């Protein structure tokens, strides 16, 4: 079974994954947000997960992090997260990053230098990593 990590599009994510995302409160709008970039995980050519980054004002937001339930706890999210870190570094090296995390994703954010800024209801945490100024 081959796993491929590569760029994908809003339309593809919306068409294939949004119905599963909605069941788990992962927000996705039908219309493509501005300044967004998606990375997908493809198993045998089928999209089974994604992450996104979006420039909002002078910060980056990591969002739309989702792996189809059958494919979880196999390290696929970690691969997507690392691929997104490279895109972020390449395109927006000197910007801070924010995200809303679930209990399943918080450890990945904390081990990548994010700090919890706010605890919201339903176990959601708002996290931020300050700008890294290109030296790290």
Ligand X SMILES: CC(C)(COP(=O)(O)OP(=O)(O)OC[C@H]1O[C@@H](n2cnc3c(N)ncnc32)[C@H](O)[C@@H]1OP(=O)(O)O)[C@@H](O)C(=O)NCCC(=O)NCCS
Note the residues at the interface with ligand X (CB under 6 A). 24, 26, 65-67, 72-78, 99, 101-105, 107-108
Q: Which is nearer to ligand X, 41 or 92 (CB)?
A: 41
In whole angstroms, how close is the CB of 135 to ligand X at the nearest point? 26
Structure tokens that stand for 60 in this block: 């980056």
Q: How many CB atoms lie within 10 A of CB 105?
A: 20
For ligand X, give the closer residue by CB, 29 or 135: 29
The CB-of-23 to ligand X minimum distance in angstroms stands at 9
Structure tokens at 38: 């998606």
> Based on CB atoms, which residue is closest to ligand X, 67 or 97?
67
Contact 121, 100 (CB under 8 A): no
How many Cα atoms sit within 13 Å of 79 on the Cβ side?
Answer: 18
Q: How far is the CB of 49 from ligand X (least distance, A)?
A: 7
CA 79 – CA 18 distance, rounded (Å): 21
Q: Which is nearer to ligand X, 10 or 125 (CB)?
A: 125
């Amino acid at each position: 079974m081959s796993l491929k990590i590569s760029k994908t599009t809003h339309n593809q994510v919306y068409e294939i994954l949004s119905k599963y995302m909605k069941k788990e409160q992962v927000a996705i709008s039908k219309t493509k947000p501005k300044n967004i970039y998606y990375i997908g995980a493809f198993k045998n050519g089928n999209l089974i997960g994604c992450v996104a980054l979006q420039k909002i004002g002078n910060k980056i937001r990591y969002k739309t992090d989702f792996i189809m339930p059958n494919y979880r706890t196999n390290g696929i999210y970690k691969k997507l997260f690392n691929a997104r870190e490279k895109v972020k570094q390449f395109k927006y090296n000197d910007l801070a990053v924010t995200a809303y995390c679930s209990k399943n994703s918080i450890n990945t954010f904390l081990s990548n230098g994010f700090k919890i800024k706010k605890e919201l209801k339903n176990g959601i945490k708002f996290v931020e990593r300050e700008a890294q100024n290109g030296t790290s």
